[in-house]
Amino acid sequence: MWMARVIVFLVFVTILLSIAGACLFVSLHIGERTKAPNYSPERSQLPTSQEPEPPFDQESMALLPKQVWDFEFKSDMTGYEQYICPEDTDGYITLVNTYFPLDKAYVPEDLTNIRDTRSGYDKQKIRLYAAKALEAFLNEAKAEGVTNVSVTSGYRSYSLQSYLFNQRLQQFSSLGKEGAYAAAAKIVNPPGSSEHQSGLCVDMHNLTAADVKFAATKEAQWLADNCWKFGFILRYPEDKVGVTGISFEPWHFRYVGFYHAAVMKELGMCLEEYTVHLDEIGYYKYS
């Protein structure tokens, strides 16, 4: 009789242990699936994997060649890599617009003559790294048959931007003060909010004056398709007017450096969207 009781007891204990083990297994695995990721890499580690860990769960942060020389160029790129892929990866992505204006007194310290300034124009300038990357960009453009594009505008001072904006205000004066301001701001950035003051952008085309019809040319298409390989973005795309608040400008290119230009291309984002994206994924915490 006692033997039967012992057997029943052992069976009962075995069942309890099995149930407890199963519960523990489920608990551990649910915990692994639901707990917040513990991810705090050093800045130098971003990104390193083809399958990045959270919070960097966007394909764009990993699907990229880390060297611009992964491409085949027709022109000689010797000496340009350091400018296209700056060591200071995040030093050129500052957002400049009406919400994030530059100080009235801001003037870049490294303004450099643009080699491809249009004949008959005052020599245009932009910041050093942007200027050298632009040289590489237009060297390759020429090698690809895009030989008639030149730069008509680079760095603009706060005072020059004020002058240009006031001209537009007068043009739309019939709309009233608020209406004129809104209409002018879609075409010319108000002083302080222009990327031209940053020294990181250029207007370049092959027309007598900047016009949206440039977008229909083979030259504009090549520039738009290839600018990212040299660290530039088309700053005001046609499909992002509602985000940027600026009319489509197929002639306006902004330097951000190769890495971020390539990520933005993968994501299909303009700079306004991209800076929000970087903040949301926690990128700036490690910058």
Q: List residues with catalytic annotation.
A: 249
Q: Give me the residue label for tokens 């207007």.
A: 203
The DSSP 8-state label assigned to residue 78 in this structure reads T
Q: Give me the residue label for tokens 């108000």.
A: 190
d(CA 255, CA 113): 15
Contact 129, 200 (CB under 8 A): no
Contact 202, 253 (CB under 8 A): yes
| Among the listed residues 194, 193, 170, 196, the one whose alpha carbon sits nearest the alpha carbon of residue 181 | 170
**Phi and psi of 111, rounded to 5°?**
-60, 135
Contact 126, 156 (CB under 8 A): no
Paired tokens of 224: 């738009």
Q: Give me the residue label for tokens 């040299």.
A: 230
**Phi and psi of 112, rounded to 5°?**
-135, 140
| Among the listed residues 75, 228, 245, the one whose alpha carbon sits nearest the alpha carbon of residue 143 | 75
The torsion angle over the Cα atoms of residues 271, 154, 166 and 251, rounded to 10 degrees, is -60
Question: What helix, strand, coil percent values describe the chain, rounded to 5?
Answer: 50, 10, 40
